[in-house]
Structure 1
Amino acid sequence: MLRITWILLILFTGVASADDDAVAKYRDYLPEQLLALSEEERHSSVPMMFSGAANLATSPAGDFVMQANLNALMYSGFADFEGAKRAFQSDLGEEPTGALTVWQIHTLGYRSSRVNMTSVSFFPFDFGGTMSGDWAFVKGTVEIIDDKIAYPINQVDIECSRRSGTCDYRQIALTLPDENSWVQSYHVGEIADEVYQITRWEGQSIDAVPVNTTGCRINQLSLNFETQEFFEIARNNTSGDCETTLGGTIPRLDKPRVSRIVDGREIISAEFNAISEETFTFFSSAFRQRMEALVAQSEQN
């Protein structure tokens, strides 16, 4: 059982991000060449993803894992391991030597993990706002107008009480991995859990600002339940760039950043469609050609 767990760990372990210069320097090393470097150089200079690739390739389970990864990309990994490696190298636009470099092994693992990432649903896709007496509720997906949001797959819930004079704001998001992520898996995390002070409750409209106003930016809520239009307006809270408590810097906004809460189904669908389109290019060229031929034939019929 421990051995199986170890093999599965190798299959699904991700990689860390690496310096571009180091990637360029070591990408064409074969596993044996990389492991022949001094321990000091491997620990101080070699990208972790390449060390992981070299350790995988020289492990007892190395060939098995790479064969499984090739099969996942529709190469004949188990039936013709040598031919599959050469075909994979050719599809990468590299010389088909049959001896995989550490970059090629890393890319093989990344691509095989990526094609197995299916669409998932953690959030209710219903959208809208309801106001009843002294209580109001909004839910949906936040998108930034004229800009790209860091976490497009998100869900926000806002509950306002006229009696308490506050709105409870909670936002969660599904983050998507990229090639430099530690693991190729989704992660659901809480983006915000804040209390807003209501500054105006008039008719079917509510305005509110955060109770905690010490952040780098102030995010005002503007909720209109009659028109079903719900906005967030972020403004600078400092005269210049803002230094965070963790040592980072948040640049000053050139103008207020306006976001709106919308029905997120199209946004979320587009994100997963982009992943599907990307991962299709990871399959073997022979498989893609057959798929494209089948699609063309079905369209003719």
Structure 2
Amino acid sequence: MAEETTPKILSIQSHVVHGYVGNRSAVFPLQLLGFEVDFINSVQLCTHTQYKKVTGQILKEQDLTDLFEGLKENGLDKYDYLLTGYVGSPSFLKEILEVYKHLKSANPGIVFVCDPVMGDNGQLYVPEELVPLYQECIVPHAHILTPNQYELELLTGFKISNVDDCWKAIENLHMKGCKTVVVSSSDLGKNGELLALASTLNGESCQRVSITLKKKQAIFVGTGDVFASLMLAWMHKTNNDLKVALERTIATLQAILDRTLECAKGKPHTPENLELKLIQSKRDIEKPQVILSANCSTRQ
């Protein structure tokens, strides 16, 4: 890929010294797929929080301001994408919005991809004050949102008990200004299954895509960060073909999880043994083998 056509991404999310979560999960796949990635770490921790001892630092909004001011002064503020993940404080999230507004002034065509990391399985693991900020300040600006089922409920205030509820919640985000919503995981499938759902606005119509996949018998960390980065990459590389992008994202993620489980076979499912095998999955990232086909429909 010629240098002048290489898409540039600014990724703002968490970082760990050991393991794969946040930027450690997102940057490598994006680079493999041909993207230039600059990244700012919202937190820097020794490991993710499933380990028994977690130490590190949390960036404050002034730290983000200082880093971004340096980029601006050096003329390095032209990006094709802004990707955001875990943010631990309301003030930091507000500063991200200011960064996005500047990036949009520098490149009106920039695409904002937001993984609204707030919680999972009914448990909130960020300050409650972040929820209304995502609802009121981030959703109207984001082009692509990748919440899980619980985060979709938080963003909309809707209780999601079935697939119809999920589509209604997604429509609510469309009405608030977000063009594409991809629910990375939901418990709306049959027993032992997960359901991924995605929707994008095309003028007056809405394309809906869904994929059913089997649950893995383990708890992984960092999968949402990989998912968001892959969706960004494949939406770009397929000219926003939602069906193909979701199929390739799911294919890659399933291959990574299968390899992670294979490497952990016969071992206890500790955080260390279940760290994602990203490096070992290089070929699956570059050339995913699609096994699960997506269902696709159009709603007027």
Larger relative strand fraction: 1
User: So what's the TM-score if we normalise by structure 2?
Assistant: 0.22
Q: Which has the larger radius of gyration?
A: 1
